[in-house]
Amino acid sequence: MKKILLNRDFILFSIILIILIAVGFANPLFVTPKSISDVLTDTSILIILALSQMIVILIRAIDLSVASNLALSGMLISLLSTVHPELPVYYFIALSCVIGTILGVLNGISIAILKVPFIVTTLGTLSIYRGLIYFVSDGKQVYSNEFSEDFLALIHVKFLSLSFLFWLAVLVFIVIYILLNHTRFGRNLYSLGGNPDAAKYIGINENKYIIMAYSLSGFFAGLCGYLWVARYSVASTQIAIGFELTVISACVVGGISVMGGVGTVLGCVLGALLIGLIRNALPAVDISQFWQLAISGAIILLAIIINTKTEQRKEKTIMVEN
Amino acid sequence: MKKLFLGIISSILFAFSANAADMRIALVVKGLGIGFFEAAAEGGEEAAKEIGGVEVIYTGPATTTAEAQIEVINSLIAQKVDAIAISANDRDALASIGKKAMDRGITVISWDSGIAEEGRVMNLDPSNTALIGSSNIKWMKNSMGDEGEFAILSATSQATNQNAWIEEMKKEHAKPEYSKMKWVDTVYGDDLFDKSYQEALGLFKKHPNLKGIIAPTSVGIVAAAKAVEDQGLVGKVFVTGLGLPSEMKAHVKSGAAIQFGIWNPIDLGYSAVYLSYQIATGAYTGQEGECIPTGRMGEICIGAGNNAAMADPFIFDASNIDKFAEIF
């Protein structure tokens, strides 16, 4: 029992419940099933990106270019859909993923082969990919009436009264859970992040894993590129601007250590849910908007503090037991 | 090799001198990639072509903040442009950089969203501020009826123009004919689509009886209309405000918006460049009481505080949206 209570993921889950109850008291309308399903839909893209960011953070790196990658992939397929509205929606999704993957591989090559530090590389591509959006779109937007109906319809499909976006996030969760916990690839990622030198001695090819981690991150950014433009049915140069920081904070809150090698898939999802909940709940309660940013920062900080404190306590208990 | 080198030098010098003969006017916007400003840039180019010998530098930051805009203006000062025409993200934060540019002999005017008086020669409001404010309340009444709750979804909380309009809306709303329309909230979507969308969703939850949203920003109005549609609230919640016909077309068709308005952004960019040119050449001073000829827009007369207004807002609804969606 004590073990469960001190579990990071369990604590995070409790924090989410407490916030949900508190917001429910302030505004009962926020905790209706419809409203909860809205929050889950709204958080799905964040969950997918946080999970793919986790893969990169596990090997002691970070991908700051995800939001720009998402926006560029999304803009490119949107532009294509204005010229070729007859193409089936699956074509656009696949293309968006391919574009995203290519952009991710470029990051990986720069880091692994050209040995440019990951911060420099992804900070650079953050601007480059964003800049390319202005270049390809000529600064123009793609409006909702310019997309084909097919393009926008998929996102509104519902199953068991939960949205397509939510089920997709569940699918990504399962895939990444299996990938990280039950494959050699996953175990090697953890060992590379936990102890890179040891991992190299036992023959893990670091460069290969860096490129693979970044291409996965790119793949999911590309997927979210489609999801984002279809969901809001607008593609502009501004889409998802600054979203990379939201994604990274979701990972950090979820207990993914930026020192690499530590963190669970479930924790990552809970981190994203907590951030998504805060983003949705604050506009729904009567707090001055000028305070909201500070409050959301404070909750995030609090969650991290509680989380790390329990982790320390756990380590101490182990030592006493020994 | 030497020849090649000389060739490069002379071509650079040539390019430079050709440039120096031109007048360079920078059109600085709140943020790049916003439809409204792209249309304004088009108008600016049109004015430049008409005047001749004028190069328009259309620029702005990627994020809609005053800090980012200051950086853009700093680099324009370094490039020694002749005139800067700004739509400001913050009325006061940009005043000192405007003053700095004027000290270097650059003509600075503000348009669309003004800078405080000391930071510019003159300010061109797209329309009469009082009229925009009262129009928005009227459109809201026409859309939702004269009874019920409504809220404002604005851009950033420091946006000069939006705040001035909201002040005017308050005055209009105080009139007896709106006594049954209850103003329940004012929220800020920062001119970002996803933030505005979330704020709109928040409004629905905070005020379950909400009947209308006024979004006096082209980003906010589209986001609010999309949120109304996604939540199945068409016919229950009506969106109005300031938006572009091309962006709002689908939402007027869906019924999320009945009527809304805006002035012509192409005319606005055209006038801003024309005025900058007239003042930068020294032909006019841009002081109160002056009437400056601005090409096809006729004359623009400058009033108190060196403020001028361009034209009345134009109303769009199902009857004319198709036609105007083709234009801007």
The span from the CA of A277 to the CA of A279, in Å, is: 5
Q: Which of A41, A72, A145, A279 to mutate to test the interface with B (most CBs of B within 10 A)?
A: A145
Is the pLDDT assigned to residue B108 strictly greater than 60?
Answer: yes
Q: How far is B38 from chain A (nearest CA, A)?
A: 7
Task: Mark whether B234 and B272 lie in a shared domain.
Answer: no
What is the Cα–Cα distance from A268 to A246, expressed in whole angstroms? 13
Set out the domains of chain A in order of their start, with CATH numbers. 15-321 (1.10.3470)
Q: Is residue B190 part of a domain?
A: yes
With contacts defined as CB-CB under 8 Å, which chain B residues touch A29? 205-206, 208
Closest CA to A272 of A9, A3, A5, A76: A9
CA distance linking residue A147 with residue A154, whole number of Å: 12
Residue B325 or B83, more confident: B83
B-facing residues of A in 211-250 (CB < 8 A) are 232-234, 236-243
Claim to verify: residue B121 and residue B269 sit in the same structural domain: yes
Is 90 exceeded by the pLDDT of residue B313? no
**B178 and B226 share one domain:** yes
Q: Do B208 and A29 touch (CB under 8 A)?
A: yes
Residue A257: per-residue pLDDT: 86
The residue type at B307: N
Which of A59, A49, A55 has the alpha carbon at shortest distance from A181? A55
CB nearest A130 (choices: B62, B188, B222):
B62
pLDDT at B160: 86
Percent of all residues in chain A with a pLDDT value above 90, rounded to a whole number = 55
- Same domain flag for B112 and B149: no
Residue B316 inside a domain? The answer is: no
Do the domain assignments include residue B7? Answer: no
- Asked if B157 and B256 sit in the same domain, the reply is yes
Are B210 and B288 within one domain? no
d(CA A220, CA A145): 26
- Same domain? For B181 and B236 the reply is yes
Q: How confident is the model at residue B15 (pLDDT cuts 50, 70, 90)?
A: very low
Q: pLDDT tens, B133-152?
A: 999 999 999 999 999 999 99
Interface test with A, best of B89, B205, B219 (most A CBs within 10 A): B205
Length of chain A: 322
For residues B242 and B291, state if they share a domain.
no
Residue B328 lies in a domain: no
Assign A1 a pLDDT band (cuts: 50, 70, 90). low
Which residues on A lie below 8 Å from B250 (Cβ)? 143-145
Q: Mean pLDDT over residues B220-242, rounded? A: 95
B151 in a structural domain:
yes
Q: Which residues pair with B125 in a beta bridge?
A: B309
pLDDT (tens digit per residue) in A260-269 = 888 999 999 9
Query: How many Cβ atoms are within 10 Å of A128's Cβ, its own excluded?
Result: 14
ipTM rounded to 2 decimals: 0.77
Quote the pLDDT of residue A170: 97
Contacts of A232 in chain B (CB under 8 A): 193-194, 197, 223, 226
Query: Would you call B192 and A285 a contact, using CB atoms and an 8 Å cutoff?
Result: no
Domain-terminating residue out of B262, B282, B297: B262
- Residue range A107-146, pLDDT digits in tens: 999 999 999 999 999 999 999 999 999 999 887 888 877 8
Terminal C-alpha separation, chain A = 20
Domain that holds residue B237: 129-262
Q: Is residue B318 part of a domain?
A: no
- Would you state the pLDDT for residue A2? 59
Look at residue B74 in the predicted model and tell me its pLDDT: 94
Q: How far is B31 from chain A (nearest CA, A)?
A: 9
Could you give the residue ranges of the DSSP H alpha helices within chain A? 2-5, 8-26, 33-58, 66-83, 89-112, 118-137, 149-153, 164-182, 184-194, 196-201, 206-232, 243-253, 265-284, 289-321
The residue of chain A nearest to residue B322, with distances taken between CA atoms, is A145
Average pLDDT over residues B29-51: 91
Contacts of residue A25, defined as CB under 8 A and 6 or more positions apart, other chains included, come to: none
Q: Please tell me the distance in Å from A5's CA to the nearest CA on chain B.
A: 33
Final residue belonging to a domain, choices B262, B282, B298: B262
Residue, of B28 and A86, whose pLDDT is higher = B28
User: Which whole number is the average pLDDT over A286-294?
Assistant: 79
d(CA B130, CA B140): 16
pLDDT at position A311: 61
Number of domains in chain B: 2
Element containing residue B83 per DSSP (H, E): strand B83-86
List chain A residues with CB under 8 Å of B208: 29
Q: Which residue of A has its CA nearest to B199?
A: A283
Average pLDDT rounded to a whole number, residues A135-162: 84
Cβ-Cβ contacts under 8 Å, A275 against chain B: none
**The predicted structure's pLDDT at residue B3:** 53
Determine contact: A20 vs chain B, CB below 8 A. no
Q: Measuring CA to CA, which residue among A136, A159, A163 is closest to residue A236? A: A136
Residue B12 lies in a domain: no
> Above 80 in pLDDT, residue A319?
no
What is d(CA A35, CA A41) in angstroms, rounded to the nearest whole number?
A: 10
B270-303 pLDDT per residue, tens = 999 999 999 999 999 999 989 999 988 888 889 8
Give the pLDDT score at B126: 86
Per-residue pLDDT tens over the stretch A207-254:
999 999 999 999 999 999 999 999 988 888 888 988 999 999 999 999
Of the candidates A232, A279, A284, the beta carbon closest to that of B193 is on: A232
Q: B109 and B44: one domain?
A: yes
Residue B10 maps to a domain: no
pLDDT at A285: 85
Which percentage of chain B shows pLDDT scores above 70?
94
Residues of A in contact with B193 (CB under 8 A): 232, 234, 236, 238-239
Q: Mean pLDDT, chain B, as a whole number? A: 89
CA gap B206, A185 in Å, rounded: 47
Residue B178 and residue B134 share a domain? yes
Q: Looking at beta carbons, which residues of chain B come within 8 Å of A282?
A: 202
**Beta-carbon separation of B187 and A285 below 8 A:** no
Same domain for B117 and B141?
A: no
CA distance B161 to B218: 13
User: Do B61 and B83 contact (CB within 8 A), yes or no?
Assistant: no
CATH number for the domain that contains residue B135:
3.40.50.2300
Q: Which two tokens stand for residue B137?
A: 């309340």
pLDDT score recorded for residue A303: 79
pLDDT in tens, B156-169: 888 888 999 999 99
Q: Based on the fold, state whether residues B269 and B254 are members of the same structural domain.
A: no
List CB contacts (< 8 A) between B203 and chain A. Answer: 283
Whole-number pLDDT of residue B16:
47
What is the least distance, in Å, from the CA of A139 to any CA of chain B? Answer: 4
